Amino acid sequence: MKALVWHGKKDIRYETVPDPEIEEPRDAIIKVTACAICGSDLHLFHNMIPGMEPGDVVGHEFMGEVIEVGPENKALRKGDRIVVPFTIICGECDQCRRGNFSVCERSNRNKDVADKIFGHRTAGLFGYTHLTGGYQGGQAEYVRIPFADKTHVKIPDGLSDEQVLFLGDIFPTGWQAAIQCDIEPTDTVAIWGAGPVGQMAIRSAILLGAKQVVAIDNLPERLSMAAAGGAITINFDDESVIERLNELTDGKGPEKCIDAVGMEAHATATLDSVYDRVKQAAMLETDRPHVLREMIYVCRPAGILSIPGVYAGLIDKLPFGMLMNKGLTVRTGQTHVNRWTSELLSLIADGQIDPSFVITHRGDLADGPDMYRMFENKQDSCIKVVLRP
Amino acid sequence: MNQLHHDDGGTRGSLTSADRIARSLGWLSIGLGVAELAAPRLLARSLGLEGKERLIRAYGAREMVSGVGALSANPAPAIWSRAGGDALDLATLARGLKADGGRRRNVGIAMAAVAGIAAIDIACASMLTAQNRRPKTGGLRDYSGRSGFPQPPEAMRGKAARVAAQPSAVMPQMQPA
């Protein structure tokens, strides 16, 4: 079959790989009908995430039709249409039973390495580092789904692929980011990054009743989409983020802050970002945490920082004393996708939201390498790419 | 499982020729940097630049920085800096033209090599800049009609607030096995 395959920094190839096979009794194999390029795929593209190996099939936001099931998989049948959560879950371990699906204790098949690196293992992820299992990803014609009797969201008839595809990652990721903020009707929620996750977080914060939602970015097309979703926008090229946020909150700062940027903050926008970039080049720091610093500084005391943005390793000059003295709460983590999908599928089916608003570019799977470049460089006003094998 | 798909064997990749050249230049920089840092006297002697060992070491450090940058995800600034460094190198080497005989020939060869590399640096940096360019203002799309909501955002505010009101939303209770 054909798939998008990682070979190193900036080197994604559309090429032939072996077909997937049923390996465990709970597996299923799906024929992919749609897949997306996610912002965290760019971290792999830039070789910022350790533990990738040449030949890895990438992609963790995908859906399709079940074409084969393992003998112990009683939950799925051939022909079922499913969205696949990017976090692989057993559904039975202590963490899964608590709903902490992104730290499933059984789905990471490289758990010994993960235990050593992270202290304790996290869940297996599709199309990501071997620290999270090294499972083949969904930017492919076919995918093997481990623990498929639990790792799926069944899609009812009547909903298009593009309406439901993002249930696998960015919609529940933006939703979880907003839920983690414990939003109250008097709250201002400030969201750094108006990429796909930021856009979903904006809509989620509105649906959850925030008084005002503020989106921070420097790309006009992304800010126009953020404003369409109900956000007040700040272009950090044009004005001071700190001053404007304080102005919007009577000098008190936003109660809730969401980092939808992560480890690759704009490298030249601020002095501290330049510092991080230099340290990164010298391999003295892995991530660029400008957004974390700014959130800690501007957040109202006793507020909440919600961090869906991906961080890989070590960061420097984080004002932890400020965080402690202001009594801020930090909530973060990969998304517990299945905790939210039932509610979100209902919102889509009820017509309360159509997540396909975020799609700006479509192509064949073979267009994937070019689309990675376009998405990386934000060319042609690209915000979200959907590929069809 | 049977073969699922008959493919045409075609392979397409994201790595451009400019990326490949940038990587080669990055490794070249690191190699030169190591040589300049490790053996400045030898280089100074062969190029008629005795007394300039410190300068050669400084150039070595510069090459190392450029090399690391050229191997990063965004190599364009580093390749442009290499082009600037090439001009400095040529100016410095030109002093060696005053040397005699064989050393003068060495300097000539070195200057020709640097000039050739400079041309490659400029071409590569130009290609990288062009392939990564995005318009600042013109040609940008306006997505102000893409709310994703069936009604204006103000009417959607709080439509799902019942979920946030559930205490289990952030930390749910354990479900029975």
The interface pTM score, or ipTM, of the predicted complex is 0.93
Arithmetic mean of pLDDT, B84-95 = 91
Model confidence at B96, in pLDDT bands (50, 70, 90)?
confident
- Contacts A10 to B, Cβ<8 Å: 14-15, 19, 73
The residues spanned by each domain of chain B are 17-129
pLDDT tens-place string over residues B126-147 = 999 998 888 666 678 999 999 9
Instruction: Measure in Å the smallest separation between the Cα of A147 and chain B Cα atoms.
Output: 16
CB contact under 8 A, B11 and A22: no
Beta bridge partners of A87: A125
Contacts of A22 in chain B (CB under 8 A): 1
Ramachandran region, residue B139 (left: φ > 0; alpha: ψ -120 to 50; beta: rest):
left
Helical packing angle, B17-38 and B101-132, nearest 10°? 140
Q: Which residues of A101-140 are buried (b: 16+ CB within 10 A; e: fewer)?
A: bbbbbbbbbbbebbeebeeebbbbbbbbbbbbbbbbbbbb
Q: Min CA distance, B127 vs chain A (Å)? A: 14
pLDDT at B101: 73
**Which residue type, as a one-letter code, is found at position B103?**
R
Chain B contact present for A11, CB below 8 A: yes
Kindly give, in sequence order, each residue whose CB lies less than 8 Å from that of residue A271, ignoring residues fewer than 6 positions away: none
Under 8 Å between Cβ of B128 and B76 = yes
Within an 8 Å CB–CB cutoff, is residue A228 touching chain B? yes
Residues of chain A with pLDDT under 50: none
More confident residue, B95 or A127: A127
Query: Residue B175: pLDDT above 80?
Result: no
- In Å, what is the CA distance from B120 to each residue of A12, B127, B129? 25, 11, 14
pLDDT band at B4 (very low <50, low <70, confident <90, very high): very low
Taking the CA atoms of A365, A367, A369 and A372 in sequence, report the sign of the dihedral they define. negative
Structural tokens at position A295: 């959130």
Domains within chain A, CATH numbers bracketed: 2-169+335-388 (3.90.180.10), 171-332 (3.40.50.720)
Chain centroid, CA A107 distance in Å: 19
What is residue A376's predicted lDDT score, i.e. its pLDDT? 94
Residue pair A257/A177 in contact by the 8 Å Cβ criterion: no
**Spatial distance between the Cα atoms of A159 and A166, rounded to a whole number of angstroms:** 13
